Amino acid sequence: FRYWSHRTDRNGFTREFKVYECEDCSGCPFRSQCTKAKEGHHRRIQYNQKWEEHKEFIRQKLSEKETGEIYGKRKIDVEPVFGFLKANLRFTRLSVRGKEKVKNELGFAFMAVNLRKITAMKS
């Protein structure tokens, strides 16, 4: 461990990192596998404890049976609609800006998908 680093992003959010650095890796046989840093520079690792805790929490949630069932339903219910919009209707980007306008444009796109389903059921 070398020092604590504090970084603030453009939104004003500050992150805290623990910075670990090798003292001297010039004679290390694994240097080429470990780092691409130039000779004289050492391997540096930055560890964000909160980020790692969040990742572990999500990993734990995703491994639960109930969460797996929810994601399984999502694959069946939601994802095919977006896939159909993108692949068949070539709806890959919005042509408007603003929350209300985007809501309206997506509404028209989803309406087109639903109308197509209705006509397919009647045929």
Let me know: does 17 contact 42? Beta carbons within 8 Å.
no
Tell which of 63, 93, 108 closes a domain.
63
Give me the domain span that covers residue 91. Answer: 74-122
Question: What is the reported pLDDT for 31?
Answer: 78
Question: What is the reported pLDDT for 101?
Answer: 95
Average pLDDT of the chain, as a whole number = 87
What is the number of structural domains in the chain? 2
The string of pLDDT tens digits covering residues 3-52 is: 999 999 888 989 999 998 887 777 788 777 777 777 777 788 889 999 99
Q: What average pLDDT does range 91-100 have in this prediction?
A: 92
Model-level pTM? 0.50
Task: Report the interhelical angle of 49-63 vs 65-77 (nearest 10°).
Answer: 80
Instruction: Assess whether 116 and 78 both reside in one domain.
Output: yes
Instruction: Assess whether 11 and 47 both reside in one domain.
Output: yes
